[in-house]
């Protein structure tokens, strides 16, 4: 069972708070994905702009869904790795 993250810090870049807009607009880990996204949606990745673009055409919708699915699957995998490492450490008494 997944446990609550012990920190709000971004595991990728060390920013104090990792929230959706940070991942979408700022975190350097996702820069390559973000570049592909902005080539379709434009440079404004604010929530109102994204919603307008996604509702405007299928290409924008698909680009945002692809970005989201890729980021979330990688973040979930990273979290599993961290949890497994923590489990191993607790078994070893560290």
* Residue 78: Cβ within 10 Å count: 13
What ranges do the domains of the chain cover? Answer: 25-91
Q: Is residue 16 over pLDDT 60?
A: yes
State the DSSP string of 49-89: HHHHHHHH-HHHHHHHHHHHHHHHHHHHHHHHHHHHHHHHH
Q: What is the pLDDT of residues 52-90, one digit of tens each?
A: 999 999 999 999 999 999 999 999 999 899 888 877 666
> Has this prediction a pTM greater than 0.75?
yes
Q: Which residue has the higher pLDDT, 83 or 35?
A: 35
Band of residue 36 on the pLDDT scale cut at 50, 70, 90: very high
User: What is the per-residue pLDDT for 93?
Assistant: 62
């Amino acid at each position: 069972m997944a446990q609550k993250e012990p920190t709000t810090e971004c595991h990728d870049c060390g920013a104090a708070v990792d929230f959706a807009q940070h991942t979408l607009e700022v975190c350097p880990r996702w820069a390559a994905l973000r570049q592909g996204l902005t080539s379709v949606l434009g440079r404004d990745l604010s929530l109102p702009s994204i919603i307008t673009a996604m509702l405007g055409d299928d290409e924008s919708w698909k680009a945002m869904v692809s970005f989201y699915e890729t980021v979330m699957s990688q973040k979930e995998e990273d979290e599993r790795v961290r949890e497994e490492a923590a489990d191993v450490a607790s078994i070893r008494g560290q």
